[in-house]
Amino acid sequence: MAQPRLVIEKEKQAKAIKPVFIDVELLEQIKELKQETGWPIQRITEKFIRYGLENVEVVEE
């Protein structure tokens, strides 16, 4: 079964921001997506985090 797609749509600007530290390899992938979409890194990162939080499932070990 195919994985769900991440749909990018227009959003309102955030009211406040906080820095987040991520792995350099992830940052490079986000920069590539930035070049492809023209979106700022902050917006791309927020979109992925929102998607993850809305679709997370916590299971016992």
Read off the pLDDT of residues 32-55 as tens digits, 9 standing for 90 and up. 999 999 999 999 999 999 999 999
The stretch 4-33 carries a mean pLDDT of 87
Asked if residue 14 belongs to a domain, the reply is no
Asked if residue 11 belongs to a domain, the reply is no
In the chain, the number of structural domains is: 1
Residues 6+ apart with CB under 8 A from 17: 42
Residue 1, pLDDT score: 64
Asked if residue 16 belongs to a domain, the reply is no
Asked if residue 8 belongs to a domain, the reply is no
Q: Range of 42's domain? A: 24-54
Q: Residue 11 pLDDT more than 80? A: no
Residue 9, pLDDT score: 75
**Which residue is associated with the tokens 């906080």?**
18
Asked if residue 46 belongs to a domain, the reply is yes
Asked if residue 34 belongs to a domain, the reply is yes
Cβ atoms of 21 and 46 closer than 8 Å:
no
